[in-house]
């Protein structure tokens, strides 16, 4: 029996707010630890640590893991897309800022909504939701235009990082669509997450080794704290909650609500990395919030 997803209710909104706060902080955490450990290796380790936690949770619940339920190939595909997303984020942060990364990464809901609109009947959106998507996307673009610099002073390196951030967002959206349109949509969140974490860990470890960036001999205390946050809070708890949300709520509504994350991300950048905050960004933030509200209105 296929479970009918529902629009976001009060509890769903609260969960999404917490997730957006944690997801908004993770780019700052990567940058803070980058002096001690390369971002690609960070992503590999956090996936590995989180995979161990998910495996322990499955064992504690008395569950088992089987690949004979039709989830193997979708799970591998989701894992590869997961690895591509993290690889783009890791490499992109070497060229652009955390604020740029978090804003462009969270173009993912746009791609998710557009993809699910055409693949899943229950995920079709109406005119008001379409306007909300456009308004939220315009708000992000307007807020980000200030980060690029009103005088057009963006460098080639920064633009390369920004392109990688958009590719990461596209990979994240593709992952959500795979989860929603295959056997993974009815699989336990722990199984879906374990596929992604294991595949991503293996691929990213190989890439880190190929880049000669796999050393962990001189990791500082703050880097370990960052890795624990990324592994236990983000890659384990938050992603489990994310997949639980996808099983119980309309994925298009959940994904577009995550537009709040770049706002939190830039706010953390201001507080922790001394990023500047301007009226241009504030105006873009208002547009984003208005778009989120419109997308979550029930279709007439």
Nearest alpha carbon to residue 162 among 170, 233, 210: 170
**For 196-214, how does the pLDDT look when each residue is reduced to its tens digit (9 = 90+)?**
999 999 999 999 998 877 7
Q: Do residues 290 and 51 lie in contact, with contact meaning Cβ atoms separated by under 8 Å?
A: no
In whole angstroms, give the CA distance from residue 90 to residue 63: 33
Q: What is the pLDDT of residue 151?
A: 47
Q: Supply the pLDDT for residue 290.
A: 78
- d(CA 107, CA 140) in angstroms, rounded, equals 8
The structure tokens 């619940």 sit at 61
Q: What is the DSSP letter of 216?
A: -
Question: What pLDDT sits at residue 41?
Answer: 92
CA–CA dist 43, 113 (Å, integer): 26
User: Which positions of the chain have pLDDT values less than 70?
Assistant: 1-4, 67, 121, 143-155, 217, 251-252, 255-256, 275-278, 281, 293, 296-300
pLDDT of 91 reads 92
* Per-domain boundaries in the chain: 10-295
Q: So what's the pLDDT on residue 1?
A: 46
pLDDT tens-digit profile of 15-40? 889 998 998 899 899 988 888 888 99
Residue 56 neighbours by CB distance under 10 Å: 11
Q: What local confidence, expressed as pLDDT, does residue 148 receive?
A: 59
């Amino acid at each position: 029996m296929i479970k009918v997803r529902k629009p976001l209710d009060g509890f769903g909104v609260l969960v999404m707010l917490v997730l957006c706060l944690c997801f908004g902080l993770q780019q700052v955490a990567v940058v803070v630890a980058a002096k001690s450990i390369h971002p690609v290796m960070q992503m590999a380790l956090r996936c590995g640590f989180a995979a161990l936690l998910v495996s322990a949770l499955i064992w504690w619940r008395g569950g088992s893991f089987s690949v004979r339920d039709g989830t193997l190939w979708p799970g591998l595909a989701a894992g590869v897309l997961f690895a591509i997303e993290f690889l783009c984020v890791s490499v992109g942060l070497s060229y652009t800022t955390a604020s740029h990364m978090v804003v462009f990464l969270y173009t993912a809901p746009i791609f998710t909504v557009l993809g699910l609109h055409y693949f899943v009947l229950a995920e079709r959106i109406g005119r008001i939701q379409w306007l909300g998507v456009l308004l939220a996307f315009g708000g992000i673009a307007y807020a980000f235009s200030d980060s690029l610099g009103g005088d057009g002073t963006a460098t080639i390196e920064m633009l390369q990082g920004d392109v990688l951030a958009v590719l990461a967002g596209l990979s994240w959206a593709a992952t959500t669509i795979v989860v929603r349109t295959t056997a993974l949509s009815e699989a336990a969140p722990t199984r879906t997450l374990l596929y992604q974490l294991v595949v991503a860990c293996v691929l990213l470890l190989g890439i880190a080794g190929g880049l000669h960036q796999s050393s962990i001999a001189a990791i500082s205390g703050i880097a370990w704290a960052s890795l624990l946050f990324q592994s236990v809070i983000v890659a384990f708890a938050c992603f489990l909650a994310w997949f639980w949300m996808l099983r119980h709520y309309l994925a298009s509504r959940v994904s577009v609500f995550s537009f709040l994350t770049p706002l939190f991300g830039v706010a953390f950048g201001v507080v922790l990395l001394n990023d500047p905050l301007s009226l241009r960004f504030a105006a873009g933030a208002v547009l984003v919030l208005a778009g989120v509200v419109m997308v979550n209105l029930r279709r007439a």
